[in-house]
Amino acid sequence: MEITMNKIADRKIDLNTISSKDGTELNQASRIEAKDVKVWYGDFMAIKGIDMTIKPNTVTAFIGPSGCGKSTFLRLFNRMNDYVEGFKMEGKIKINEDNIYKKKINVEELRKEIGMVFQKPNPFPKSIFENVAYGLKIQGITDKKFLNERVEKALRQADLWEEVKGDLKKSALALSGGQQQRLCIARTLAVKPSIILMDEPTSALDPISTAKIEELIHHLKEEYTIIIVTHNMQQASRISDYTAFFYLGELIEFDKTKKIFTNPEKKQTENYITGRFG
Amino acid sequence: MRRIKELIIEKSLLSSALITIAVTVGIILVLAIEAVSFFKEVSIFDFFTDTQWTPLFTDKHYGILPLLSGTLLTSFIAISVALPIGLSISIYLSEYAPKSFRKTIKPLLELLAAVPTVVYGFFALIVVTPFLQQFMPNLSGFNSLSAGIVMGIMIIPFISSLSEDALYAVPKDLREASYGMGATKFQTAFKVVVPAASSGIIVSIILAISRAIGETMIVAIAAGQQPRLTLDPTVPVETITAFIIQVSLGDVQHGSIEYKTIFAAGITLFAFTFLLNTISYQIRKKYQEKYE
């Protein structure tokens, strides 16, 4: 069989849940481990050897000035850099003990486990329903009842259901920017990933929409492991449990968010979070 | 002095625009006036319902249907060839091909449209038809099948090039969103990129159809000059355009009813291409509003 990621990929969609104490179904979050990761774009070394372990059910913020490698590092986890010309990678990234850069990995299966929300809201030019159902439909799921349930649940989780339940047939492009971004989150949640990667998800949004998404992230961590790249220090300190500070392709400091923002070990971290550079 | 120079430049640019419009209006007027005088002698009803077109014979019939069917049949064959090939090429170039390959192959494909159509016509007549006759012994020497196929090859770049532009213009974000959900390249291309570029693709198809309907040389050479109301692609037919050359090259007396037929045929052709151009213009306008 092509799929060798037994732990995360072979789980069928309906088995992708465990029960919590009160009987409601909970999604299972994953753990990520990076070992001596190096990345090049052509001759340029973008990541210079990073080790990191991210625990399940946590929110981890990646901060650092532009070009520090935080987005590149984030995109390693769902192999989104594969399409970049000149991309080369060394080291290991394990998700639940499976190295996702080994040769026989099925990248599509991997990406079903690891959702991604992008900087600019990027709904498909389809209806709201079709957007959320997309991930399920490409897996070959056609059962109408199942799709309806999943779409509703994902929209509820993304706190968008009440606003759109009347017209799921409406084009997603007719929604506001903040709604579009929550739709993109719902689209990701519908396939029940175990990790959600967010690449500056609120940088194109107004403060009210931003607050909604931050609140959402806070709830989602019960069921998912979340990594968020952000340029906004306050956001990192508000929503994350752990913070990683990157600078020039290196991981300068990685610790509990509280520690990073109150008592950082390194001078560079302190300079950055207090706004002295970057 | 400088102001006068600017003024002269401005006015001369304006006048070239006006001349172009005037010529177009003139052509339409001539077509319309001659067509009106044609329809004084032949009823419009007969024109659209009579199933024979024999203006050059003694038993005269003026039914446009045989010419129209010839035109539509050859165009239909052409588009059946060009659509799947052109679309496959455009999807391959936009979604799969390496950038350098795309840059080389696109201008080469566009060369197909630069080949003189008379060359295509002879190609259809002396290469394609004999080749097809090996498998289809009943195929006439002149037929709409080989004319249509070769015309299809000619219009491939209209579809491949314009569709590729539309596909390539689809934002990278949408592809990433799809890949990020675990979609394969194929799923991304057909479920996200093609639908997102659909209006551009439709415009390319309409322009290609419009080009096929107006094409003259290939059909005049390879499809024959026998107006015949048929959907059989193996027999000779005559298209509107082929009939117009036939009359124009012949010794029909100026001002006669036979002469006026070409204007009636011409205005029918014009109505078709004008309609197609208008539709594609409207789609393009809508499409631009959506993405800019």
Please judge whether B179 and A187 are an interchain contact, meaning their C-beta atoms are less than 8 angstroms apart.
no
Which residues in chain A are closer than 8 Å to B183, comparing Cβ atoms? 108, 134-135, 138
pLDDT at A24: 53
pLDDT at B286: 79
In the predicted structure, residue B271 carries a pLDDT above the cut 80? yes
pLDDT one-digit tens code per residue, A127-178:
999 999 999 999 999 999 999 999 999 999 898 999 999 999 999 999 999 9
What percent of chain A has pLDDT above 70? 90
d(CA B155, CA B210): 10
pLDDT at B124: 95
pLDDT one-digit tens code per residue, B157-213:
999 999 999 999 999 999 999 999 999 999 999 999 999 999 899 999 999 999 999
Nearest CA in chain B to A79: B180
Q: Using a CB–CB cutoff of 8 Å, tell me whether A188 touches chain B.
A: yes
d(CA A158, CA B28): 59
Residue carrying structure tokens 């931050």 = A214
Residue A17: which pLDDT band, with cuts at 50, 70 and 90? very low
Could you please state the CATH topology (level 3) that the domain comprising B65-291 is classified under.
MetI-like fold (1.10.3720)
Average pLDDT over residues B248-256: 83
pLDDT at B253: 84
Q: Using a CB–CB cutoff of 8 Å, tell me whether A110 touches chain B.
A: yes
Nearest to A251 by CA among A44, A53, A29: A53
pLDDT at B54: 87
pLDDT at A4: 42
Q: A6-122+190-273, superfamily in CATH?
A: P-loop containing nucleotide triphosphate hydrolases (3.40.50.300)
pLDDT at A3: 41
Nearest CB to B180: which of A80, A85, A137? A80
Q: Where are the domains of chain B?
A: 2-41, 65-291
Quote the DSSP letter at residue B277. Answer: H
The CA-based angle B229-B234-B240, given to 5 degrees, is 45
Average pLDDT over residues A15-43: 72
The average confidence (pLDDT) of chain A is 87
Q: Using a CB–CB cutoff of 8 Å, tell me whether B177 touches chain A.
A: yes
Which residues in chain A are closer than 8 Å to B178, comparing Cβ atoms? 124, 134
Nearest CB to B183: which of A80, A126, A138? A138
pLDDT at A240: 95
Please judge whether B181 and A125 are an interchain contact, meaning their C-beta atoms are less than 8 angstroms apart.
no
**Cα torsion for B170, A111, A213, B173, to the nearest 10°?**
-10
- CA-to-CA dists, residue B247 to B55, B242, B254, B260, angstroms: 10, 9, 11, 10
In the predicted structure, residue A2 carries a pLDDT above the cut 80? no
Return the structure tokens found at B278.
């208008």
Quote ipTM for the complex: 0.85
pTM value surpassing 0.90:
no
Average pLDDT over residues B111-136: 93
Nearest to A30 by CA among A112, A117, A96, A100: A96
d(CA A113, CA A95): 10
Return the structure tokens found at B221.
């050479």
